Amino acid sequence: MDINVPLILYVKPSYKASNGPAVYGTLRACGHFAVWYSSSRYIGYSVAWFDATLKGDKSSLEIFKDGGDLSNDKTWTSVVNKGL
């Protein structure tokens, strides 16, 4: 629903072009300004991603793998990962 940063033009190509670990998912029913009114839906995953990739926290990394918390979270859709 983000008309400012269309998935097909920017987000998906960036994910596909990544040579390192990457995760892609879409928050259901959110647009570009979700950061202001819906931060609780993604802030925990953002912190976990930084912990996993910058601190090497293996338990945080598990959140993003197939079958992990993110892929089982019903507020997210189209969750995929690579290089984990």
Query: Residue 70 pLDDT > 80, yes or no?
Result: yes
d(CA 60, CA 6): 28
Domain spans, the chain: 7-82
- Identify the pLDDT of residue 5: 66
H or E, element range at 27: strand 22-27
Residue in the block written with tokens 């189209």: 78
Half-sphere exposure of 60 (CA within 13 A, CB side): 14
Q: What's the token pair of residue 40?
A: 């609780």
pLDDT digits over 28-65, tens only? 877 777 777 767 778 899 999 999 999 999 999 999 99
